[in-house]
C-alpha cells in the first residue's frame, strides 16, 4: 500500500473549510484487484461482473449567497469500471471544505462534486443531494431472503477461507442469503469495517451454513470495501458456479461516509436503502 503513503488515510489532518478540490486523492482499483487474479481492463478482457459503488455522505454543508449555512446528504454512484476509487478520508476532507464557501444553489454544489470526483476516479459518476426532509422520506432496508445469522454452528475459522463455501444437492434454484456479521479490516489503518452482505443467485443451492462460516472467515481479513465484495463475488463463482450472481455490501459509516459496493453479472444496482446500522 505504498501508493497511499501520501494520502490523508491514517494520518492527522488539518480541516480546510474553503472549497478545495485538490484534497481528493485517487486510489487505483487494479492495485486492490491483484489478489483477485483478475486481468486489467485491456482490449479483449473484461470483468466477470458489472456494478456500482454507492457512497452516502452525511457531513456536507455550505453557505448560501447570503451567508446562511445549508446542510445536505450526498449520494455518489461510481461505476466499478473507473480506473480509480476515491480515498475515503480525502472525500471527507473535500466535502468539509465546502463549509465556509458560498454557492448560488444546491445544484451548483452538486455539479462541483460531480465534476471533481469524476476527475479523481477517471470516469463519469452520478451525484444526488438531499435535504434532511427529503432524506427522511427515503425508504429503509427491508429484510428479504434468508438471514443466516441465526444458524447454530461451532466456529473455528476466523481467517479468510473460501473453501468453506459449499453447495447443497438438488435442482437449480433462485435464492437470496444475507448476513449482518461481515467484518473486515482497512488494509492501511487496520480499523475494523462492519457490513451487511446480500447474495442473490440462480444455480446450485448455496449452503446457508457454509455461507455463514465463509462470512465469519473474513473477520480478520484486510481489504477495502470494494475489494471485499469483489473477493466474495469471485469466491462464490469459483466454489459454487452460479449462473447468475449478485453480491451487495452495506458497510457502516466511518468518518461520516458509508460505502456500499454492488457487483453482479445479471442485475442492475439494488435500491440505496440504509440498514439499521447506517
Q: With 0-12 CB in 10 A as exposed, 13-18 as middle and 19+ as buried, what is 197?
A: buried
Exposed e or buried b for every residue in 145-174, given b needs 16+ CB within 10 A?
ebbbeeeeeeeeeeebbeebbbeeeeeeee
Q: How far apart are CA 223 and CA 237, in angstroms?
A: 19
Four-residue CA torsion sign, 200, 203, 208, 214: negative
Q: Which of 116, 186, 235, 258 is catalytic?
A: 186
Q: Which of 53, 193, 235, 258 is catalytic?
A: 193
| Nearest CA-CA partner of 54 in 126, 140, 132 | 126
Closest residue by Cα to residue 70 from 45, 112, 103, 118: 103
Catalytic residue status for 193 = yes
Question: Which sequence positions are flagged as catalytic?
Answer: 186, 193
Amino acid at each position: 500500500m505504498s501508493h497511499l503513503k501520501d494520502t490523508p488515510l491514517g494520518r492527522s489532518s488539518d480541516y480546510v473549510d474553503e472549497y478545495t478540490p485538490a484534497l481528493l486523492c485517487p486510489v487505483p482499483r487494479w492495485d486492490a484487484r491483484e489478489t483477485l487474479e483478475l486481468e486489467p481492463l485491456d482490449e479483449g478482457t473484461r470483468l466477470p461482473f458489472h456494478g456500482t459503488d454507492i457512497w452516502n455522505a452525511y457531513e456536507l454543508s455550505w453557505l448560501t449567497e447570503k451567508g446562511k449555512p445549508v446542510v445536505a446528504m450526498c449520494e455518489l454512484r461510481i461505476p466499478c469500471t473507473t480506473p480509480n476509487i476515491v480515498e475515503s478520508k480525502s472525500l471527507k476532507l473535500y466535502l468539509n471544505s465546502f463549509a465556509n464557501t458560498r454557492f448560488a444553489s444546491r445544484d451548483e454544489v452538486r455539479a462541483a462534486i460531480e465534476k471533481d470526483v469524476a476527475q479523481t476516479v477517471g470516469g463519469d459518476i452520478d451525484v444526488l443531494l438531499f435535504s434532511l426532509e427529503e432524506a427522511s422520506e427515503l425508504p429503509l432496508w427491508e429484510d428479504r431472503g434468508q438471514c443466516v445469522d441465526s444458524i447454530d454452528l461451532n466456529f473455528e475459522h476466523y481467517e479468510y477461507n473460501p473453501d468453506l463455501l459449499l453447495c447443497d444437492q438438488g435442482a437449480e434454484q433462485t435464492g437470496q442469503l444475507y448476513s449482518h456479521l461481515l467484518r473486515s479490516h482497512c488494509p492501511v489503518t487496520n480499523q475494523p469495517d462492519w457490513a451487511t452482505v446480500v447474495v442473490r443467485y440462480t444455480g446450485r443451492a448455496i449452503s446457508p451454513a457454509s455461507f455463514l462460516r465463509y462470512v465469519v472467515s473474513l473477520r480478520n481479513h484486510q481489504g477495502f470495501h470494494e475489494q471485499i465484495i469483489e473477493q466474495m463475488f469471485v469466491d462464490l463463482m469459483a466454489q459454487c458456479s452460479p449462473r447468475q450472481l449478485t453480491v451487495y455490501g452495506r458497510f457502516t459509516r466511518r468518518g461520516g461516509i458509508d460505502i456500499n459496493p454492488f457487483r453482479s453479472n445479471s442485475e442492475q444496482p439494488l435500491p440505496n436503502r440504509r440498514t439499521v446500522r447506517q
